[in-house]
Every structure is written in C-alpha cells, then in structure tokens.
Amino acid sequence: MNQDYFTITNIIIAITCLISMGLMQNRDGKSKLIFHPVTIKDGNQWHRFLTSGFIHGDGMHLAINMFVLWSFGNAIETYYYPEFLGANSTIKFLALYFGGIIVSSIPSYLRHKENPEYAALGASGGVAAVVFAVIIFGPWQNLYLYAAIPIPQIIAGVGYIYYSWYKDKKSNDNIGHMAHLTGAIWGVVFTIAMNPALLTRFIDLTMQGPRF
C-alpha cells in the first residue's frame, strides 16, 4: 500500500471524521468536547480549546474542513515544511495545525467567558492556519474552484477571511468563524517565525504578481 496514505494530515483527518461523525447526533458527548468559555473558566476544562477541533456542526461543515485540510495539509507536511523549514518539520506541522486550533479560540474565550449562551466547534482555526501557511509559499499559485476555475491562492485567502468575518457578524450558528481570522494569522506568523527569510520571499513573490 502506498505510504503516502499514512501522512500525519490523513491520520488527523481520519480521527477527526470518526469523532465528528460518532458524535454528530450525540449532544451529551459533543457537550463534553465543545468550546464553551464559561465552562472552561468555571471548571478549568482547558482541554476544550483543543477537543473542540475534533467535532463539527454537521456533515457539510466536516466535509469542507477536512477537504481543505487534505488539500493544503499534505502539501505543507510533505513538501513545503521539509523543503523550507528543515529538521523536525513534522513536529512543526503539528504545532501549526493544533496551535491554530488552540490560538484561534483565544479571542472568542476573552469575548465570551461570561456568556453562557456561547459555544463553538470545528477545526476551522487549524485549517485556516494551514491554508495561510501555504499561501506564504506560493501566493499566486492557482486553486481550482469546482475543478475548473483558477483562482490565485492569495485572492482565495482574502475571500476566505471576508466570508469568515461576514458569518461571525451574523452569529447564527455554533461554528467558530472568528477562529478563521485568528487561525490565518497564526499560520502566517508561526511559519515565518520558523524561517524569517520567508517573509522577504513572500513579499517578493507577491509584488511580482501572477504569471500567465
């Protein structure tokens, strides 16, 4: 069997899918893992900063997050980080993804730690971190919307942030949309911190514009 199936990214996806699908209709089980700032503060249940990344609101939420993680995570794990960050790239990838999940929840915790009505779930913060880490390496590299329409990654990234901001303002679900922005920032800051020369490289590539 092709060992490429056994990347850290794919293992994370498999575990997340198993937990998310297993608890999709299990409110009691989901309530033990969901990001709930009041419970975190009053009960010292700090594990919720991480465990909330393993559960999702519905099948579409799970599918989108895991498809994006599969697309970008494998690129980061198997090529970009080993090529540009050198030794211990797997550990750095884990810090990128799980750090994104944890760090992206901090603003929501500070905003809602006295609000018992607020809860959030999903891996969006970690996924956003991975997506924006990839953008650092190739801002004008094309994504293909619906497998046919090319969109530069940097343009898609801006759209992703706008969508997250819009959904956060509506606040009509339990998905941590604010985590998208914070996760994106973490992905950029963490990756550049691991190799500061990437900042100059990113600016140069961005200024060059798209290549047709």
Report in angstroms the alpha-carbon separations of 204 from 39, 107, 139, 170, 209.
46, 31, 10, 37, 9
pLDDT in tens, 130-186: 999 999 999 988 775 545 567 788 888 888 778 777 877 776 665 667 788 899 999
Determine which helix (DSSP H) or strand (DSSP E) holds 142, and give its type and residue range. Answer: strand 142-145
**HEC profile for 12-37?**
HHHHHHHHHHHHCCCHHHHHCCCECH
pLDDT in tens, 10-46: 999 999 999 999 999 899 999 999 999 999 999 999 9
Determine which helix (DSSP H) or strand (DSSP E) holds 10, and give its type and residue range. Answer: helix 8-23
Kindly report the CATH class assigned to 3-208.
mainly alpha
**Residue 121 near residue 92 (C-beta atoms within 8 A):** no
**Residue 198 near residue 84 (C-beta atoms within 8 A):** yes
pLDDT in tens, 177-205: 778 889 999 999 999 999 999 999 999 99
Domain boundaries, the chain: 3-208
